[in-house]
């Protein structure tokens, strides 16, 4: 049994919150630049140039890429041979978020009640997703999630007879309906299978996966490619002003499901798709 102090996790989460909000991941930067090179519609090319200039300024000057520094999604993969000591894990993660959002001059965007509202003032609580895995390490991923794009996400409980075509139509329909609202070019996270709740979680996890990776199953890897091409024929373009580049990536995650169902969730993210990981 390896002992890890939750105090160590506070420091790690603090740093991940700040870094994720200031430095766009390499895979996302690469995807945007590749799309810029292929974009031949003037207004779209101009917007992509501004988007590139923006993440370069953020990186150079250590400022947030976007003012919506999001809710802090914190994914924890905890090795089953780890014993967490020195305090409460949830409180440690929240303390890390609290410190990171304060020290990093990040916006506090969390309200304490969904209906009655009221800003909590420190961007807590974080959205914490815990998974127990083999091993004696803790893998922490922080993915700040903006809500302009979150609000354009969707979930549908399909009949199995809807088949692959049903999923394809749903993806295109969701991205079309979102139009300019989620700050395109977007990243589309798709979760298929499981249950009502698990499909949504798969979609969120899909957004944490590098854009230069593919689903390990060639069937879904091909679907990722096909859907990216089809989305980029919609004409929405960067910021919805028209153009080729509506999405910079489609990531699909799947799991087994019930004989009676085929849940599908689509989690939309903007071009500021942030995630940063550290292993303790």
Q: Is residue 236 a contact point for other proteins (CB under 8 A)?
A: yes
Other CB atoms within 10 Å distance of the CB of residue 191: 26
b/e sequence 123-141, b meaning 16+ C-beta within 10 Å: bbbbbebeeeeeeebbbbb
Interaction of residue 32 with other proteins, rule CB under 8 A: no
Q: Does 54 bind other proteins (CB under 8 A)?
A: yes
Task: Determine, following the binding rule CB under 8 A, whether residue 228 of this chain makes contact with other proteins.
Answer: no
- Give the span between the Cα atoms of 199 and 155, in whole angstroms: 8
Min dist CB 66 to other proteins, Å, is 5
Q: Among 8-16, 90-98, 174-182, 260-268, which window interacts with other proteins (CB under 8 A)?
A: 174-182
Q: Beta-strand (E) ranges in the chain?
A: 2-5, 71-79, 82-85, 127-133, 138-145, 154-158, 186-194, 247-257, 262-269, 276-279
Q: Could you say whether residue 162 binds other proteins (CB under 8 A)?
A: no
For residue 6, the minimal CB distance to other proteins (Å) is: 27
Nearest one of 261, 274, 266 to 204, comparing CA atoms: 266
Residue for token pair 């949830």:
90
Q: Which stretch binds other proteins (CB under 8 A): 1-9, 55-63, 203-211, 256-264?
A: 55-63
Binding site for other proteins (CB under 8 A): 41, 43-44, 46-47, 50-51, 53-55, 57-58, 61, 63-69, 105-109, 119, 121, 146, 148, 151, 179-181, 183, 234-237, 239-244, 270-272
């Amino acid at each position: 049994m390896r002992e890890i102090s939750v105090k160590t996790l506070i420091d790690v989460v603090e740093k991940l919150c700040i870094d994720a909000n200031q430095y766009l991941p390499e895979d996302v930067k690469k995807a945007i630049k590749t799309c810029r090179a292929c974009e031949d519609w003037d207004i779209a090319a101009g917007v992509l140039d501004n988007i590139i200039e923006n993440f370069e300024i953020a990186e150079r000057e250590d400022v947030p890429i976007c003012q919506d520094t999001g809710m802090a999604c914190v994914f924890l993969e905890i090795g089953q041979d780890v014993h967490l000591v020195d305090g409460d894990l949830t409180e440690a993660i929240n303390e890390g978020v609290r410190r990171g959002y304060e020290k990093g001059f990040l916006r506090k965007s969390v309200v304490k009640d969904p209906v009655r509202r009221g800003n909590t003032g420190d961007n807590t609580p974080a959205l914490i997703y815990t998974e127990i895995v083999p091993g004696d390490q803790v893998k922490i991923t922080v993915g700040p999630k903006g809500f302009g794009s979150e609000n354009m996400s969707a979930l549908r409980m399909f009949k199995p007879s809807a088949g692959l075509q049903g999923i394809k139509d749903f993806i295109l329909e969701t991205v079309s309906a979102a139009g300019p609202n989620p700050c395109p070019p977007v990243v589309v996270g798709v979760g298929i299978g499981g249950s009502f709740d698990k499909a949504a979680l798969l979609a969120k996890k899909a957004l944490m996966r590098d854009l230069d990776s593919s689903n390990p199953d060639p069937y879904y890897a091909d679907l990722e490619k096909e859907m990216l091409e089809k989305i980029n024929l919609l004409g929405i373009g960067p910021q919805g002003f028209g153009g080729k580049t509506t999405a910079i990536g489609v990531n699909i995650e799947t799991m087994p499901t019930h004989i009676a169902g085929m849940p599908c969730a689509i989690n939309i993210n903007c071009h500021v798709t942030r995630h940063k990981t550290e292993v303790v």
